[in-house]
Amino acid sequence: MRRLLLSAGAILAIAVVTGVWATRPDPLPADTFAGVAGEAAAGELVFNAAGCAGCHSAPETDGDARLVLAGGQRFATEFGTFVAPNVSPSDAGIGGWSLSDFANATQRGIAPNGAHYYPVFPYSSYALAEPQDIADLWAFWQTLPPSDAASLPHDIGFPYSVRRGLGLWKARYVPDLMRTMDTTDPQIARGQYLVEALGHCAECHTPRDALGGLNRDAWMAGAPNPSGKGTIPALTPDKLEWSAGDIASYLKTGFTPDYDSAGGSMVEVIANIALLPDADRDAIAAYLKALPPAG
Amino acid sequence: MHRPLTILALVGAFAATSVAFAEEHAQTPREVKARQGLMNVISLNLAVVGDMAKGETEYDAEAAEMAADSLMGVALVDQTGLWPDATLGTQSNRALGKIGEDRAGFLAIWDDFDAAAASLQAVAADGPEGLGAALGELGKTCKACHDDYRVSR
């Protein structure tokens, strides 16, 4: 009996220890930014490609007002409603942060106090970004206007409200390399980087499994809309029959090849991607045309 | 400018889409057919100028001007009768109930469309260079209205 109790206690202890171990934050190596100097001018392109303003600008803003990252946009998901926080360089935002704080948040989903962020913040894509791009982005961040708007709480229920559990989710879903395609073509490789790392296109265009992780076997095969209404279209060449020129022009002008205007959450994406140079939109199109068919 | 031609082109395209719609949806109210037909007239004429701006078709001053005139023709159509309350917020088309609740806001975007179509009309015959910017302005009005007053897919 005593023996049994002991082993039950041991199992419990092991469970607790492994649980804590598996859910612990896994920050970037300390030397990630050694010898990397950020450049604000280059960071603007990263900012637009990554669409940070698409989520962090105040609701319904246009033009230069989009640079004020006051937060407040709401994202309805099956796990609850998340509200984007103020991330402007101010006391109400992330004014006191270091580059390392910023990079751990953006690429590892870890807050300065060690808490995990929810994956609505697409750090599992940004994890693939180059340190140089993150350093440039942080330099650009310092040029953004401050906002003193208070960040609002999320509206999510138990058990999803427990951030600790996200450690397991991350161990399972945050990728450490781009897995969908090997390519030697520099244009396709650039497109892959823009789509998979910065543009986080798969976050909407790839279906998710029951735990909310991307189903990589159905890469870009289209997905139900997280808002609950309708579906998000597939982008694989067997499903999306547009030419590369059509895709590039859609991402620039917001017009489909038959001249209807893009709608839904894609409007916000286009507002950002339209600011990139033509060569980058052509690279995105080349990557999409090179994707394996969804079947 | 090419006023008689414009109206003819407009009526022609309009009639063609209406026939297609009539065959597809015998029960669709005429107001819905009319406004969806107008939207298709917009799309088809935008395609003429848009493909020239993209360099997909060769620039043709006369065709560009006629397309711009047709867009202006749509802008001149009185919208008040085309969006009756009974046809808004239903399953059978994409017009949101918000159109009925905010008619002033909806009509204000039509005014923006009117202004943008006029700007395109002013530059359409002057060469392909000015088309992109004018189309961008026009595109903002489609996006603004579809964002607020049309069901997204």
Work out the minimum CA distance from B67 to partner chain A, whole angstroms: 13
Q: Are residues A58 and A162 in the same domain?
A: yes
B133 part of contact set with chain A, CB < 8 Å: no
CB-based contact B143 A254, cutoff 8 Å: yes
Work out the minimum CA distance from B151 to partner chain A, whole angstroms: 9
Mean pLDDT in residue range A78-92: 94
Q: Are residues A169 and A191 in the same domain?
A: no
In tens, the pLDDT along A193-243 reads 999 999 999 999 999 887 778 888 899 999 988 766 778 999 999 999 999
> Residue ranges of the domains in chain B?
30-149
Look at residue A208 and tell me if it is in a domain. yes
Residue from the list B46, B136, B150 with its beta carbon closest to the beta carbon of A259:
B46
- pLDDT band (50, 70, 90) for residue A254: very high
pLDDT of residue A252: 95
Tokens 């063609």, located at residue? B16
Q: Which residues pair with A116 in a beta bridge?
A: A110
pLDDT of residue A15: 45
Does the annotation place B146 within a ligand binding site?
A: yes
Q: Are residues A164 and A223 in the same domain?
A: no
CATH number for position A274? 1.10.760
**Tokens representing residue B91 in the block:** 């399953």
From A174, A204, A239, give the residue that closes a domain.
A174
Count how many Cα atoms sit within 13 Å of the Cα of residue A109 in the half-sphere of its side chain: 28
The DSSP secondary structure of A204-255, one letter per residue, reads: HHS-B-TTS-B-GGGTTS-EE-TTSSSEEPP-STTT----HHHHHHHHHH-B
Q: Are residues A102 and A224 in the same domain?
A: no
CATH of B30-149, one of 3.40.50.10310, 1.10.1740.10, 1.20.120.10, 3.30.750.24: 1.20.120.10
Look at residue A277 and tell me if it is in a domain. yes
Q: Are residues A87 and A154 in the same domain?
A: yes
Look at residue A46 and tell me if it is in a domain. yes
Does the annotation place B99 within a ligand binding site?
A: no
Q: Give the burial string for B11-39 (b: 16+ CB within 10 Å, else e).
A: eebbeebbeebeeeeeebeebbbbbbbbb
ipTM (interface pTM): 0.78
Mean pLDDT in residue range A4-9: 46
Residues above pLDDT 70, as percent of chain A: 90
CATH number for position A158? 1.10.760.10
- What's the predicted TM-score (pTM) here? 0.88
Q: Work out how many domains chain A is built from and give that number.
A: 2
Residue of B nearest to A229 (CA): B153
pLDDT of residue A225: 82
Those of residues 108-127 in B touching chain A at CB distance below 8 A are none
Residue of B nearest to A263 (CA): B152
Torsion sign across C-alpha atoms A46, A233, B132, B145? negative
From A123, A151, A174, give the residue that closes a domain.
A174
Q: Are residues A216 and A155 in the same domain?
A: no
Q: Could you tell me the residue range of the domain that residue A203 belongs to?
A: 186-290
Mean pLDDT in residue range A130-159: 94
pLDDT surpassing 70 at residue A21: no
From A125, A154, A174, give the residue that closes a domain.
A174
In tens, the pLDDT along B18-51 reads 555 544 555 899 999 999 999 999 999 999 999 9
CB-based contact A259 B56, cutoff 8 Å: no
Look at residue A84 and tell me if it is in a domain. yes
Does the annotation place B145 within a ligand binding site?
A: yes
Q: Are residues A197 and A275 in the same domain?
A: yes
**Among candidate residues B87, B82, B136, B142, the one with its CA nearest the CA of residue B109:** B142
Cβ atoms < 10 Å from Cβ of A115 = 12
CB A51 within 8 A of CB A269: yes
Work out the minimum CA distance from A141 to partner chain B, whole angstroms: 28
CB A212 within 8 A of CB A245: no
